[in-house]
Amino acid sequence: MKSQCINDCCDRRSYSAGSRKATSFSNPPSIKQLENRPNLKAQSSMLLIIIVIMIFVGMVVFLLGIASTVGGNEFTGLYVNNLLLSVMRTDTGYTDSKCKLVSDLVFCAYFTPEWQCAQGVPNCLELANNTITRYMTIFGNQTKSMKYLFTVTPAFVARDVSGEPISLDMGDKALKKSKAESLKIYSHPLVISKTVGSNQYTLKIQLIVSKK
Amino acid sequence: MAYKGQSEIMEYILMVVFIVAAIIGIIIFLTWWNLQQFQMDAFKNRQDRIIGIGQYMMGDYMFTNGDSVFDDAKLTAINASMNCDDLQKILGTNWYVKIKALDMEGEKPCRWNDYPNCNVWSICGYKENAKDRFGQNFPVNVYRKVSDKTALGVLYVEVYS
């Protein structure tokens, strides 16, 4: 009985709505139009649901867009720059002026890779690689282990026969070609100069770091 | 016709349920969002404080010979003679700093008697019962005055409540 009454009310309501429409457009609604009214209502309900969902999604996207990200950038930048400086300033344990500090050793490895810092020790290039690996391992054990790459390039333009810039890379060489730029952190380039005889040589050293 | 009426009631009920669920969802999401932002701000404040203390330490000639190169003799003297209150007047309270030279195995705290065969300097003492600890490491150098060598080191800065 109840459902019948509701049904009647609905019919009356739909009929009166049809009448209003008829007066405004001067054409009375056809039976087919009246039959289609529930479909229109269902469509409007769907539209409402979609609008609510869109508002919700829009709000989420907007809030995520304006969200303040964790302020790790300043610390990470400071960390990587300090790491490069600290490693380069550390003593190697050799007394030869070409090999005293790690930066001296890197210089030696770039310009005179076959030089031996002392008798019975590997040449500069190998020693530079070993020393940097050792220091980075010591440091990694104390703090956090990471992938790293030291790239050394001269201040002047130097290219090999294939036209590639001549650079000395120490560490994980895959990091240079890695496409995941967002995961890599670059230090500011460290410029070191040395005068040999009457010539001054300048090298640019950069550290690239990534999570393991 | 009766089915049609029932289905319309069902439709209304479903709509109401959906709208109420959407409103509840939005309220939960906004509350979660606010909490996340509070936590992020708290983390950022702590990180900024750590960076501030770290940069002060690395740049002050009371501890270093130059940028980020700590002098082991200065550190030992400060460790033995300086009162933490003086530093807390500059840097605030509730922090702790440890500098470790990585040229030795293990940790050997530096006091007058142990110098230079030691590698750890603590400033403003470690507090066992401190809460909400948060610390960061900075790569630094430690200059060994006796051997005239620069060693790799770590500056650990911790803040707590």
- Which of these three, A66, A96, A111, is where a domain ends? A66
Contact B37 A42 (CB under 8 A): no
- How does pLDDT run across B39-84, given as a tens digit for each residue? 888 888 899 999 999 999 998 888 898 777 999 999 998 887 777 8
Residue A52 contacts by C-beta under 8 Å, 6 or more apart in sequence?
A: B18, B19, B22
Residue of B nearest to A56 (CA): B26
Q: Which residues of chain B are within 8 Å of residue A49 when distances are taken between CB atoms?
A: 15, 18
Q: Which residues of chain B neighbour A144 with C-beta distances below 8 Å?
A: 137
- A8 and A87 part of one domain: no
- The verdict on A87 and A50 lying in the same domain is no
Q: Count Cα atoms within 13 angstroms, Cβ side, for A126.
A: 8
Are B120 and B98 a contacting pair, CB within 8 Å? yes
- What is the reported pLDDT for A3? 45
Max Cα–Cα distance, chain A, nearest Å: 111
AA letter at A16: S
Nearest CA in chain A to B40: A70
Contact criterion met (CB < 8 Å) for B68 and A85:
yes
Contacts of B140 in chain A (CB under 8 A): 82, 86
**For residue B5, is it within any domain?**
no
Task: Please tell me the predicted confidence (pLDDT) of residue A8.
Answer: 45
Structure tokens that stand for B93 in this block: 């309270």
* CB–CB contact B141 A89 (8 Å): yes
Quick check: B136 and A75 CB within 8 A? yes
Q: Could you tell me if A35 and A92 lie in one domain? A: no
Output the pLDDT for position A23. Answer: 46
Rounding to the nearest 10 degrees, give the CA dihedral for residues B92, B96, B102, B103. Answer: 90
> Do A92 and A123 belong to one domain?
yes
A contact test, residue of B56, B141, B143, B147 with most A CBs within 10 A: B141
**Which of B15, B33, B40 minimises the CB distance to A70?**
B40
Closest approach of A36 to chain B, Cα-based (Å): 13
User: Which of A3, A83, A139 lies closest to B6 in CB terms?
Assistant: A3
CB < 8 Å to A74, chain B: 47-48, 51
Domain final residue pick, A12, A33, A66: A66
Question: Which structural domain range is residue A8 located in?
Answer: 2-66
User: Whole-angstrom Cα distance, residue A141 to residue B70?
Assistant: 21
A121 φ, ψ (degrees, to nearest 5):
-110, 155
A60 and A83 assigned to the same domain = no
Of A53, A71, A93, the CB nearest to B48: A71
Q: Give the range of the structural domain holding residue B75, as residue numbers without chain letter.
A: 12-159
Q: Give the closest residue to A49 by CA, choosing from B15, B17, B8, B9.
A: B15
For residues A169 and A78, membership in a common domain is answered with: yes
CB atoms within 10 A of CB B71: 20
Contact residues, A window 58-97, toward B, CB-based 8 Å cutoff: 59-60, 63, 67-72, 74-75, 78-79, 82-83, 85-87, 89-91, 93
Question: Which residues fall within 8 angstroms of residue A3, CB to CB, at 6 or more apart?
Answer: B2, B5, B6
Residues A91 and A169 in one domain: yes
How many domains is chain A built from?
2
Q: Which residues of chain B have pLDDT under 70?
A: 1-2
Q: What is the pLDDT of residue A18?
A: 44
In a domain, B4, yes or no: no
Distance CA B148, CA B141 (A): 13
Verify that A30 and A102 share a domain, yes or no.
no
Q: Are A171 and A83 in contact (CB under 8 A)?
A: no
Domain total for chain B?
Answer: 1
Question: Which run of H or E residues covers position B78?
Answer: helix B72-81
Is residue A173 domain-shared with residue A82, that is, in the same domain? yes
Whether B85 is in a domain gets the answer yes
Q: What is the pLDDT along chain A (212 residues), one digit of tens a residue?
A: 444 444 444 444 444 444 444 444 556 666 666 555 656 666 777 787 888 788 888 888 887 777 655 556 788 888 999 999 999 999 998 988 888 999 999 988 888 888 888 888 888 889 999 999 999 988 887 777 788 999 998 877 666 666 666 788 888 888 888 777 667 889 999 998 888 777 888 889 999 988 87
Whole-number Cα distances in Å, A62 to A32, A96, A206: 44, 61, 37
